[in-house]
Amino acid sequence: MGMDRREFIKSCSLVAVMGLLFGCRKSAVLGDIASQLSVPELKRFEDEVKLAMSQAKKSLDLVKVPTPGALKIPGASTLNRFGMAIDLDACDGCGKCILACNLENNVPLVPEEDAARGRFMHWVDMRGGAPFMCAHCGNAPCERVCPTGAANHTPDGLSAMMYKRCTGSRFCGANCPVQARKFNFNDAQKLGLARQFNREVPLRDKGVMEKCSLCLHRLQNDRLEFKTSLTVGTAAEEWRGRGVKTACAEACPKNAIVFGNWLDDKSPLVQLTKNRVLYAPCELAALDPSVVFMRGRR
């Protein structure tokens, strides 16, 4: 009855060997191969934006929403909540924001069959003649269903993505009522469809979700600069993200996209939306969106 010594030692050493073998893994060395491949020309990115613009998507049903306030999630900052407002009176739907976003965030091209089906990777979509992107909902349904926690909320009100933690279950995509999330169906780097215009934003691997990050890297750079310029140890002033603009807001010739901090009275966002009526897509109105539309005077 039971296990004799010989068998016990045998099984123990088996476990040990398994552990050792496990430690010997080496991750694939693929990084350099991608960089040697040809990169697509800028012209192709421009053409793709034109193609996407020609396949107009149906417009959103907008409903009035109140001005976004502080986030209600635990750990949220009481000073910062970044967001945007898109001025529908000023916007003429030129689509310059889409291209600017693609170049800023290294959004890859898609193969022709996907383009024909309207499956672009663009973080900014044209819906009913106006740009639309992830609304960074305060009560984001996508984050709630993400099994690994790759989709999460920063204290500053950004709905962020950890690409390395994403396992590609696409649950978040299924739960986004406006389909703002884009899935990397193709290995864009291998197919020569990706180009790193901006060194600060990583290229995404095949099989992960991505979406508008509200130019997180610009905010982070500004925060770091702010912290560096301060004398160490004295918290004289808190960082409010002043002076940062997203790529789409920068590119807009009509200044129809306003980026800022909803909780900062000096922010252009608060000042420009003061006398305007704010709208959001009806699917998102109850989810506390940070990116809203504005139209008409109050």
Partner 1 sequence: MFRYLMILGLTLFLPGLYALGYSVYQGPSAWMVDSQTFWGTPISLFVFWIGLAHAGTLLSAIFLALDIKLDRRTALIAELSTLVSLVFAGIFPLMHLGVIDNFYMVAPFLDARGNFANVRSPLVWDFCCIAVYALLSLLFFGVHLKSREIPALDKYRKPLAWLLFPLVLWVHTIVSLDFAATFVPQWRGAFFPVYFIAGAILSGLALVNLLICAEGYRVRLLERLQLICTWILCAIWIWDLILKGYFCTSAFIFAGVLPQLRMVSVIREHRLGRIFFSVSILVGLFLERYYLVSPTAASATFGRIDLGLVAFSVGGFMLLFFGIRRYLNRNMEGAGSYFGEVDGTDLAEAEQEEFEKENFTGVRGIQKLRKGFYMQPWSSEEYRILRFPLLVGFAAAVLFSVWVWSQSVFANVDLSIANVIPLLYPIVAVVTAFTLCVRAYFVEKSFDMTRREKTLCVVLLVLAAACLGTFFAGGSSEKSAKVLDSQPIGVDTPVSQNHARLVWNARCATCHGTDGRFNEKFVREFYPVPQKLDLQRLDSLGADSLVKVILNGRNNMNAYAGRLTPEEALGLVNYMRTLAEMLSENAAPESVKEGEK
Binding site for partner 1 (CB under 8 A): 1, 3, 7, 11, 14-15, 18-19, 22, 27-32, 73-75, 114, 117, 119, 141, 143-150, 152-153, 162, 164-171, 173-177, 179, 183-187, 199, 205-209, 224-225, 227-228, 232, 283
Phi and psi at 13, nearest 5°, equal: -65, -30
Our CB check for partner 1 shows the closer of 21 and 297 to be 21
Smallest separation (angstroms) from partner 1 to the CB of 93: 23
Give the Cα separation of 245 and 156 in Å (integer): 15
Smallest separation (angstroms) from partner 1 to the CB of 168: 2
Smallest separation (angstroms) from partner 1 to the CB of 173: 4
Q: How far is CA 33 from CA 36, 189, 191, 195, in A?
A: 5, 9, 12, 14
Our CB check for partner 1 shows the closer of 148 and 255 to be 148
Our CB check for partner 1 shows the closer of 144 and 266 to be 144
| Contact by Cβ (8 Å): 60, 253 | no
Our CB check for partner 1 shows the closer of 127 and 276 to be 127
Q: Is 11 exposed, middle or buried (0-12, 13-18, 19+ CB in 10 A)?
A: exposed
Smallest separation (angstroms) from partner 1 to the CB of 283: 8
Our CB check for partner 1 shows the closer of 147 and 253 to be 147
Report the side by side order of strands in the sheet with 62-64: 62-64, 276-281, 291-297, 82-87, 257-261
Element (H, E) at 254: none
